[in-house]
Structure 1
Amino acid sequence: MVSTPNGPDRIGPGTPGHDDAASGELTRRRVIAVLLSLLLVAVVAVSSLVFNRPPAQVAVPAATLTAAPTPTQSGTPSTPAPAPTPPPEPIAELRAVAMNILLIGSDSRGNAREQAAITQSTGAYQDQRSDSLMLVHVPADRRSVHVVSIMRDLYVNIPGYGTSKINDSLLVGGIPLVAKTVEDLMGIPIDHTLMLDFNGFRALTDDLGGIDVDVALPFQSTHDTEHVFTPGINHLDGQAALEFVRERYAFGDGDYQRVRNQQTFLRAILTRLTRDGALRDVTAVRALVNFAGNYLTVDQGFDPVGVAVLAYAMRGINPNSYVSLTLPTAGPGIAAGGASVIFPDYDGIAQVAAAMREGRLPEYISAR
């Protein structure tokens, strides 16, 4: 596991694949759609990131390709026709291996990336916890997505710290400790980590123009604007989307419904990006690396080229194959010290982990 948080480098004009025309509205929205798709698919081990990039084509100055201007009847030289825009450089194929990613939703109101880096380098606690935790598995054929949600109050052992709510692992040890805690809990290796904070979540959703979400259980948020969510399709901007995935106090079963809403939101993202064909747009996928560093915290081994290669590899995904479940629990209770927690169901967790390792999670879910 590689776990040093670091945002991707940025690519600007003059680098291969950069296209100023990609700033158009359609391409911009496709780029944002690709960014949001990383919430579902952005993970692959460095050792499995085996690809061969074709050598970058050397741009030939237009002057060397254009014949000398011919005089017109007025004696002034004619204006040469502009050189045609070259096609985007192909994106290499990723080796067919299964992938695991730990998606961390930080509750930081500041800069989650900077806070995580401080905790990792100095050991100093920062004011952020994992508001959501999802282990995302993408099979080797990359045509489906399997998501296992982990309750934020799950009472587990945090290596080197003791027994506590799993969301405390980000507070006390940063991203590496979150990943280690989940690995120990499930016995499944995590290839990469990806973290998004409140500000990034709002910005990405707004830049996409909002997301249509099918609300199964209507409610009024207890956060910020106290947004009212009505039954059926709701078009959510960034702030409303954030309140949708954060809410738990409005529900009788609290965090259980909140996790279901988070899974619903991920399904809506997957539907949107496949509908728009974003993952098949080479220009949009390459332009992704110009935006990702602003919003996402990824581990150091996951560079911009790897992000683009992985996103493009997901272009054949079937949104109807998306499956999700919540990691089994033994229900709520009171821990030592009086904290309200959720106790893990270790037998159930072992069954889920085995199904994920063996690539039969959809069958496991159907049989429950």
Structure 2
Amino acid sequence: MKKVLVFILTLIFITQACSLPMQAVEIASSTPIAPGKSYQFVTPALDATATPTPFQPLPITPTPIPTATPTPEPTPTLGIEAPDVQMPQSPFGIPAGGAVSGDVVNILILGSDARPGGGFRTDVIVLVSVHRNDNTIRMVSFPRDLYVDIPGWMTNRINTAFAAGGFNTLAYTFEYNFGVRPTYYVMTNMQAFVSIIDSMGGINVKVRKSLSDKCDLPWADGRGYCTIEAPATVPMDGKTALWYVRSRYSSSDFDRLRRAQEVLYGIFQKLMSLDGISRAPEIYAAYANSVETNLTLDTLITLAPVAQEVIQNPERIQRYALSPAEAAPYITPEGAWVLWPNLYAIRAIVYEAVYR
């Protein structure tokens, strides 16, 4: 029973964390805003154009840092100027808000691309700040290509930090760059959802936008494409849901995030149904070997009232995502496409989510 409780609570947080992040945008002076706010949240348009996501992996080679001085900023050599942003002057700094309150629990939700016999990167990174004092959850989504100092290693994409030195290295990377050190993490991979969905007997996904893309499924057409027409509620098994979430040739990053939200909401609905509850032991068996976490049962129990509150009142979930003002495209001297962070702007968002 304890294991099933851990499973249900963890999936609640994964589902909520992986919902579509909102994008922070500047508000015109004529727009009424809440006191102390300088931005609002908007949902990306359904007709967002496809955007390529070039990726040239940077090698993870241990490079000891002899002093507390951050790694020097790379100098652009390919005709693209790096944004004029200073790196933090002191390592492991905490914002002016001071130490995190005991009523706040900071968790990293990580989605990896791990495959048997190979390395992995954490391509989904969400900081979940659970505030037990007011039963709210604040979430900040971090792009996988964010180019940051990884303490004790090198400057690289943030999605390489966990593979470089485990959770502690990623936690120190957050503290060094963003001013907050997460205490817990939950990491899973997309293949895990295939087993979980199949153990549920499939899910129903409310598809908001039509999709036609390459696939390797039994119902592909003669060209090797699968097509789903929208709007519709579509029954999906695990492999279909995985294809639906990961399809990338004909859509944008924001579109993939929206599809992930639709699938995760379908999982959550099935989990909360009578059929899902009756299958809890079977679902847990599929889940247990696919999720890595340092969350304890005792900690999860303290978070249960917050989870119950946000399920009943979704407005208690606040989502933040970085915009080009906080993460600008940049090409490294090695020719890799990355996002150059405005660390002070990012720290302001983290401060809003964690310390206020």
Q: TM-score range by the shorter chain?
A: 0.5 to 0.7
Inter-partner Cα distance in structure 2 for 1:31 and 1:297: 12
Q: 1:32 to 1:297 in 2, by over 3 A?
A: closer
RMSD: 4.0
Q: Which residue of 1 aligns with 2:81?
A: none
Q: 1:356 to 1:239 in 2, by over 3 A?
A: same
Corresponding residue to 2:314 among 305, 317, 320: 320
Q: 1:313 to 1:350 in 2, by over 3 A?
A: closer
Deviation at 1:100, TM superposition (A): 1.8
Work out which of the two has the higher radius of gyration on C-alpha atoms and give 1 or 2. Answer: 1
Deviation at 1:210, TM superposition (A): 3.3
Q: Does 1:170 align with 2:171?
A: no
TM-score, reference length from structure 1: 0.58
Q: Does 1:257 align with 2:255?
A: yes
Q: Which residue of 1 aligns with 2:227?
A: 228
1:200-219 alignment runs, 5 A limit? 200-219=192-211
**Secondary structure in structure 2 of the residue aligned to 1:295:** coil
Corresponding residue to 1:156 among 137, 148, 158: 148
Q: Which residue of 2 aligns with 1:248?
A: 248
Inter-partner Cα distance in structure 2 for 1:220 and 1:203: 24
Contact 1:101–1:194 (CA<8 Å) still a contact in 2? Answer: yes
Q: Does 1:105 align with 2:111?
A: yes
Deviation at 1:215, TM superposition (A): 3.4
Contact 1:244–1:261 (CA<8 Å) still a contact in 2? Answer: yes
Higher deviation after alignment, 143-152 or 349-358? 143-152
Higher deviation after alignment, 330-339 or 193-202? 330-339
Inter-partner Cα distance in structure 1 for 2:174 and 2:235: 33
Q: 1:184 to 1:41 in 2, by over 3 A?
A: farther
Corresponding residue to 2:12 among 27, 31, 37: 37
Q: Extract unaligned runs of 5+ from structure 2.
A: 18-100, 218-224
Q: Which amino acid aligns with 2:236?
A: L
Inter-partner Cα distance in structure 1 for 2:200 and 2:6: 9
Q: How many equivalent residue pairs?
A: 261
Q: Which residue of 1 aligns with 2:182?
A: 190
Contact 2:202–2:238 (CA<8 Å) still a contact in 1? Answer: yes
Q: Does 1:344 align with 2:341?
A: yes
Q: Extract unaligned runs of 5+ from structure 1.
A: 1-16, 20-27, 43-94, 112-125, 360-368
Deviation at 1:264, TM superposition (A): 4.7
Q: Which residue of 2 aligns with 1:180?
A: 172
Q: 1:353 to 1:207 in 2, by over 3 A?
A: same
Q: 1:350 to 1:334 in 2, by over 3 A?
A: same
Contact 1:108–1:128 (CA<8 Å) still a contact in 2? Answer: yes
Deviation at 1:231, TM superposition (A): 2.4
Q: Which amino acid aligns with 1:163?
A: T
Inter-partner Cα distance in structure 2 for 1:269 and 1:355: 30
TM-score, reference length from structure 2: 0.59
